[in-house]
Every structure is written in structure tokens, then in C-alpha cells.
């Protein structure tokens, strides 16, 4: 049979073969692609959040007043923290992580803005009324007014379709002042802590559970910052009794019990995510706002210089990034700051950050690459460093509130350097590799003069001796 011969059909009749021309095939293919493109376009137009459901949920867990080593995963001899340990064992742990300020309010403001206190203007824990500058309006002090103007994590995430919840410590008046969609209600009157921040965690987690359940079909951001293990140290007996035979100091036992109580609340949140099938697509970032506040706890810290100081027990905190099936469990030695979290999330979500002082450490999380922090103008190249500052904290604004100290931590293996510049011009220099409790000041060691000058130059370039002016984003 030749190629074009008639074909026999089932009923015996003959039929010519159907021949589709090359041009017709191209036309049909083009039409199919066109129809698919138009359908996709209109689908996207009708469903602007269709891709938002694939975005990861994000939960910040921010401890309040805890020593950087007070965890089971950091080998504390007595404290039990199985839930934080699980986040560490299945996540990316930065043990050389820091808060740029060692008291609560400035540190929390730095987390949410990616800026140093000298930049966002929140340098003290007190409410500020500065009539002289004409910045005080009834009900909204200047600090809170600034937060209302700043670019924050909730505001950035809102543009991507996220819903956000503030639960716990939040000093800047109402939750909407930081860009949150929901949060703790502001009580009546002028209080130092302007939300019922000591309730969440201590009296259950129902607001968080309800928020998760109401947003299962949307990406969400939760700011869980309970006043734990912060005072009052009043852990339930189920937690306190575990430590009564571990120390002769009841105050230390209560603090340790508070750490375990706080850890238990984290386990409840993780369990709720798992029950709802949300754990694998939820990023949990754990940190503390500052160091331990139990000043007499020499047994626990090795030093009585804790909160509100530039020393390790005041500013150091582990930061854990945990995202199941996405980030492989590991330990990172790189120095990072809590101001780096904001730009890191924005790089992950492929969103511009604007003018932030923090830097993205996404490649450090995923591949161990050293953070590229050397964006200042000094000629000396130092990359693996972090800086911080502390203020007199007398209720003054950043323009009137003098610094007490500035500090820089620099890693030059095997040495781990820490330089502190006090407001009285006193300089302290410690090699934390040999002196982790900062007991031996090496600032007068002539052989280290080059190291001291290099660190001071970088510190002055990153945090100038004079306060920076407020930068609106």
C-alpha cells in the first residue's frame, strides 16, 4: 500500500487519511498557549492571594531576661528546656548572637525595625514626655510616635498578604502603632508597660491559638514576647520543685523554674501548629531581648554583670532559625545581631528592605557564608563583627540621653575580641577565648594596641561617638 492509498474502515468502505498541515498545527498550538496565558492572567487577577498561601508562616519567640547559656542545649547543668532544645537540635543555631542594647524596650524596637537604638530613637524603658521639644501629645509620647512612622516587620509583611499578631511585651502604645493587625489591648492610664504583657504565657496561650486557627488559610506572623522568665519569678510548683534540691538559693531556683515554665509554653505552641498541620511551613525564630537580670546569680552566670550592661551576660543571646525540611540542622559560629532578622526575612521573601542597619544572613543560615557587614566607610576591613550601645536611661530622648557605653565584638579565630568604650573614655578589651567571663582587661597591653585601634575605628564608624539623628524610613 502506498502512503496516500485509501484506508479500509470497519464497515468496509474506504476513507482518505486526515492530513493536518504544518501551519495549522502551529496555529492550534499558538491558540492553546494564548488561551492558557489569558486564563492564568485572569485567575491571578481574581485571586491575588493565591500565591500568598504558599508563603511560610513566621513566629518570633522572644524571651525576656535570660542568660545566653541558660538552656539544656547549651549544657546548663540543671536547667531543663526540652522544647527550646528541640528547636536548636532541628534548627540553625547562632550562639554568637547579640542584642544591640541590653534593656528590653530598645532591644525590642531594634528587632522590629532592623535599626540601632541611636537610629530608631528608643533608648530607654521609661515613657518620655518632652514638652520642650513640642513633641508630646496627650496619649502618645514621642517614642511611640516614632514607631508609628518607622518601617517595621509587620508593615513589610502586610504588603505580602500576611496577618500579624502582637502577643506580650510591646511598649509602643497600641499594637497598631507597630503595624500589627491584632494584639493585646491597651489598658487605661499611663503605665510603664502599656499592654497586659505579663498575661500571655503565664495565663495561657489562647489568643495565639485563636489567631492561628483563624488564619490557617493565610500566611501569618506572630510576635510572642511573654514577660518570661522576667520577674515576678513565681513558677508553678510543678516547675519550681525540680530545682529546690539543685541550689541553696531559693531565688535562683525560682529563676530556673521560670525558664522551664517559659519553655513549656513554647512546646504548647509547637504542638498546636503540628495539630493543625502547619508546622512544616512555619518558620520559628527564637531569641532573647537581653541578658539575665538576676544580678546575684554568680552560680548561674559566672558574672554579676547581667542586664543593662555591655558584658556577655547582658547582651548575648542564642538566636535559632528553625524551618523544617528547608534549613538543615547545624551550628553557626558567625557573629550576628537581632537587627539582622528583618533583612534576612525580606531576602527570603524576595522583598526590598529599604535603609536598614541590619544585614541579611540568609546565606549564613543556608551555607555558612560570613555576613557581609562591612558597609561602613572605614578603610579597615572587618566583616565578622557586631556592635551595640547602652544609655543612661533617665527617661530622656535619644538627643538628650547620653550613652553609657558602646561595644564591639569581633571574631578573629582563634581569638574572640570584645572592646567596650565607656562614656568616661575608659576602654576595656577582652579576649573571650581565654576569658569568657570578661575578668581581665587587656586594653593597656601594648602588644594589642593595633587590635584595640582597629576595633575602636570600626566601632566609631558603625556607631559614631555622637548620636545619630532620627532617620525616618
Q: How confident is the model at residue 16, as a pLDDT?
A: 44
Q: Tell me how far apart the alpha carbons of residues 385 and 412 are, in angstroms, rounded to a whole number.
A: 9
Output the nine-digit C-alpha cell for 462: 558603625
Cβ-contact 438, 310 below 8 angstroms: no
Residue of higher predicted confidence among 205 and 185:
205
User: Which of 90-104, 123-137, 169-183: highest mean pLDDT?
Assistant: 90-104
In tens, the pLDDT along 152-161 reads 999 999 999 9
CA atoms within 13 A on the CB side of 450: 2
Which pLDDT score is estimated for 9?
42
For the chain, the helix, strand and coil percentages under 3-state DSSP, each to the nearest 5: 35, 20, 50
Neighbouring C-beta atoms of residue 17, cutoff 10 Å: 9
Question: Residues 163, 53: contact at Cβ < 8 Å?
Answer: no
> Is the model's pLDDT at 299 over the cut of 70?
no
Mean pLDDT over residues 401-411, rounded?
89
In order, the DSSP letters of 269-280 are HHHHHHHTT-GG
Is residue 119 scored above 50 in pLDDT?
yes
Mean pLDDT computed over 209-223: 95
Residue 281 pLDDT class (50, 70, 90 cuts): very high
Give the mean model confidence (pLDDT) for residues 313-326: 95
pTM of the entire predicted model: 0.83
Q: Tell me if 62 sits within 8 A of 111, measured CB to CB.
A: yes
pLDDT value, residue 399:
54
Q: How high is the mean pLDDT of the chain?
A: 81
Q: Are 388 and 357 in contact (CB under 8 A)?
A: no
What does the block give as the cell for 332? 553557626
Q: Which pLDDT belongs to residue 139?
A: 47
In this prediction, what percent of the chain has a pLDDT beyond 90?
57
Band (147; pLDDT cuts 50, 70, 90) = confident
In degrees and rounded to multiples of 5, residue 61 shows phi and psi of -115, 110
β pairing state of 57-63 and 220-225: parallel
Say if residue 370's pLDDT is above 70: yes
pLDDT above 60 for 472: no
Q: Which run of H or of E encompasses 213?
A: helix 206-214
Please, which pLDDT band fits residue 439 given cuts at 50, 70 and 90? very high
Lowest mean pLDDT among 294-298, 393-397, 416-420: 294-298
pLDDT surpasses 50 at 459: yes
What is the Cα–Cα distance from 375 to 357, expressed in whole angstroms? Answer: 9
pLDDT for res 317: 96
**Confidence band of 186 (pLDDT split at 50, 70, 90):** low
Per-residue model confidence as pLDDT tens digits over 6-65:
444 444 444 444 444 556 655 655 555 555 554 444 433 333 333 455 899 999 999 999
pLDDT at 4: 43
Given a cut of 50, whether residue 470 has pLDDT beyond it is no
Split at pLDDT 50, 70, 90, the class of 109 is very high
Amino acid at each position: 500500500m502506498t502512503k496516500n492509498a485509501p484506508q479500509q474502515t470497519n464497515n468496509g468502505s474506504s476513507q482518505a487519511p486526515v492530513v493536518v498541515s504544518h501551519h495549522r498545527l502551529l496555529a492550534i498550538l499558538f491558540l492553546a498557549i494564548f488561551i492558557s496565558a489569558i486564563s492564568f492572567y485572569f485567575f491571578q487577577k481574581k485571586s491575588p492571594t493565591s500565591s500568598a498561601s504558599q508563603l511560610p508562616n513566621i513566629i518570633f519567640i522572644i524571651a525576656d531576661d535570660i542568660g545566653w547559656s541558660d538552656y539544656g542545649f547549651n549544657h546548663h547543668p540543671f536547667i531543663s528546656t526540652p522544647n527550646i532544645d528541640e528547636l536548636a537540635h532541628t534548627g540553625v543555631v547562632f550562639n554568637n548572637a547579640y542584642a544591640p542594647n541590653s534593656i528590653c524596650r530598645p532591644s525590642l524596637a531594634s528587632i522590629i525595625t532592623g535599626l540601632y537604638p541611636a537610629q530608631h530613637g528608643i533608648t530607654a524603658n521609661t515613657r518620655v514626655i518632652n514638652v520642650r521639644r513640642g513633641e508630646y501629645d496627650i496619649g502618645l509620647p514621642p517614642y511611640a510616635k516614632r514607631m508609628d512612622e518607622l518601617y517595621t516587620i509587620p508593615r513589610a509583611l502586610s504588603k505580602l498578604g500576611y496577618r500579624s499578631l502582637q502577643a506580650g511585651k510591646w511598649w509602643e502604645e497600641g499594637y497598631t502603632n507597630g503595624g500589627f493587625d491584632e494584639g493585646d489591648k491597651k489598658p487605661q492610664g499611663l503605665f510603664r508597660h502599656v499592654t497586659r504583657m505579663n498575661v500571655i504565657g503565664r495565663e495561657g496561650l489562647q489568643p495565639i491559638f485563636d489567631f492561628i486557627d483563624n488564619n490557617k488559610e493565610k500566611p501569618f506572623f506572630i510576635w510572642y514576647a511573654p514577660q518570661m522568665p522576667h520577674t515576678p519569678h513565681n513558677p508553678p510548683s510543678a516547675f519550681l520543685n525540680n530545682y529546690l534540691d539543685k541550689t541553696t538559693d531559693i531565688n535562683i531556683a525560682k529563676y530556673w523554674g521560670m525558664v522551664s515554665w517559659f519553655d513549656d509554653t513554647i512546646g504548647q505552641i509547637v504542638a498546636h501548629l503540628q495539630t493543625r498541620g502547619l508546622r512544616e511551613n512555619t518558620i520559628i525564630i527564637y531569641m532573647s531581648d537581653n541578658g539575665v537580670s538576676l544580678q546575684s546569680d554568680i552560680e548561674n552566670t559566672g558574672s554579676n554583670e547581667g542586664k543593662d550592661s555591655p558584658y556577655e551576660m547582658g547582651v548575648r543571646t542564642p538566636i535559632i532559625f528553625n524551618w523544617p525540611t528547608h534549613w538543615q540542622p547545624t551550628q553557626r559560629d558567625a557573629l550576628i545581631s537581632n537587627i539582622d532578622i528583618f533583612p534576612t526575612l525580606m531576602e527570603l521573601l524576595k522583598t526590598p528592605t529599604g535603609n536598614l542597619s541590619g544585614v541579611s544572613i540568609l546565606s549564613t543560615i543556608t551555607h555558612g557564608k560570613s555576613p557581609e557587614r562591612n558597609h561602613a566607610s572605614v578603610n579597615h576591613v572587618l566583616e565578622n563583627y557586631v556592635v551595640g550601645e547602652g544609655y543612661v536611661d533617665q527617661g530622656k530622648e535619644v538627643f538628650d540621653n547620653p550613652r553609657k557605653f558602646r561595644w564591639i565584638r569581633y571574631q578573629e579565630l582563634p581569638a574572640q575580641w570584645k572592646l567596650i568604650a565607656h562614656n568616661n573614655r575608659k576602654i576595656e578589651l577582652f579576649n573571650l577565648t581565654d576569658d569568657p567571663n570578661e575578668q581581665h582587661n587587656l586594653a593597656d597591653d601594648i602588644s594589642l594596641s593595633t587590635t584595640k585601634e582597629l576595633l575602636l575605628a570600626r566601632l566609631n564608624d558603625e556607631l559614631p561617638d555622637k548620636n545619630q539623628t532620627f532617620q525616618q524610613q
